[in-house]
Structure 1
Amino acid sequence: MSDSRHWKVRDMEAPTPIELAMMVISLVSVVLVLVLSFATLDPQTRELLFFIDTGICFIFLSHFFIGLVRARDKGFFIKRHWIDFVASIPAIEPLRMMRLFQILRVIRLIRMTRSLLVPLLRQRAQTTLASLLVAMVLILSISSVLILLVESGAPGANIHTAQEAMWWAIVTISTVGYGDFYPVTTVGHVVGTLVIICGVSFFGVISGYMASVFVAPEQKEQAKEQQQEMRNEVEAVLKRMEENQSKMLAEIAELKARLEK
């Protein structure tokens, strides 16, 4: 009963950064399903979109099982999130439309929240992870699709399949640059330049986040030590004041006794 109340109160709170990230990725997933279902695509583009959708499914499944492990009441968690699990099953695109329920749930939380910026600022670590996750999904998805559409069929091009496009996007965003696959068209060069810039920024943020993870505990420990030192100093000052007050009262009592004589 207490867990149920906990979840009900939880629904009234602002959505966490991870929940917002899942909402954005869910929107991407729904768009992919619509494109795969209704658009006329060549086989390689369809295969690439299927790879991206499968990768997103694994992100959803990871999020579901992490939440299941951390939940106090496993049964209640499954009862509340079973739709998320069903919508995360790979290779069955129509089930992905059930992600709309999660999107609507997060939108409801956003509408009930007076300030969305304050929770994001308070949970900076989770906000950073959520932003990195969304950025990775969007950059890999958009860049691989664009490079396949631009390079496929171009004279002298070496990126023709979904696997090659996805591999090129991963290698380029990681700034490794093997050189086995590369764009030959002008538009492909522009796409590659943007992906490289995003990759450098992406890993720069990761480096800063990892540094903060190791530095933050030391800063907290230093802050605690400073607070303890200040507390000790204040206690010492108060003790001296009490001693001085006792001496003053004793002197006043002595003077009073002399005057009465």
Structure 2
Amino acid sequence: MFKLKLQHILAAGLPGILFSSILGTYLAITGFAQQDMPNEIIYEPIEESEWESIVVLDKPESPVDEATEPLIEEPDIYSPTLSDVIFVGDSRTVGMGMAVIDNINTIAEVGQGYYWLVNTADEQLRNQITDQSIVVFNLGVNDLANADKYCEYLSTLQQDYPNLQIWYVSINPVEDTTVTNTEINQFNEQIQNAGFNYIDTNSYLTDTGFNTVDGLHYTSETYQKIFDQIIATIF
């Protein structure tokens, strides 16, 4: 009868084929030939003192699929800044550009309106537009009868630059001058109803107060208020 102390191998849960291979190796090392194999094998527990002299075979691990999902890089999302904003307007935009603390990009000229916009400013504007541009218009106080023409121009510009952010700032209130606030409100209503991005600084100034130097143009403090309200809206 043959005593074989391989209880630790069985405890490892080895497959039958691997166990047979180990058993054959063991028999070859210990001098037993296949014909010497007994009919019965007794498995005896291994004494604690014998463990150090026994090589323990680890149970083979299943193949690990090291394939991993490819990393998907998140696209960079650009956040517009003040340097991306182009202000287009008349003398009020000129005054705001001179009054505000920040350095802003303006395409503006004193006393101008729609015809200056389409014949002169439009080319300058298109030369500056980029994928990140935001265009802010503040025109109309010099030609309040052209609200419909401004709407047509804005529609054409948006068609030409579908991803361009276009904003129109309301014509702001006046004091004693050649135009009236009633006329201004009618112009603003027509622009607002056309569905463009609209910044109602007129109501803001009417509610919070404003100061002019000549009934039409504002003090530096009021220009800064207008500018701050525009930036707070578009950003």
Q: TM-score per shorter chain, which class?
A: under 0.3
Larger Rg: 2
Q: What TM-score do the two structures reach when normalised by structure 2?
A: 0.23
Larger helix percent: 1
The structure, 1 or 2, with the larger RCO (C-alpha pairs under 8 Å, 6+ apart) is 1
Larger strand percent: 2
Q: What TM-score do the two structures reach when normalised by structure 1?
A: 0.21
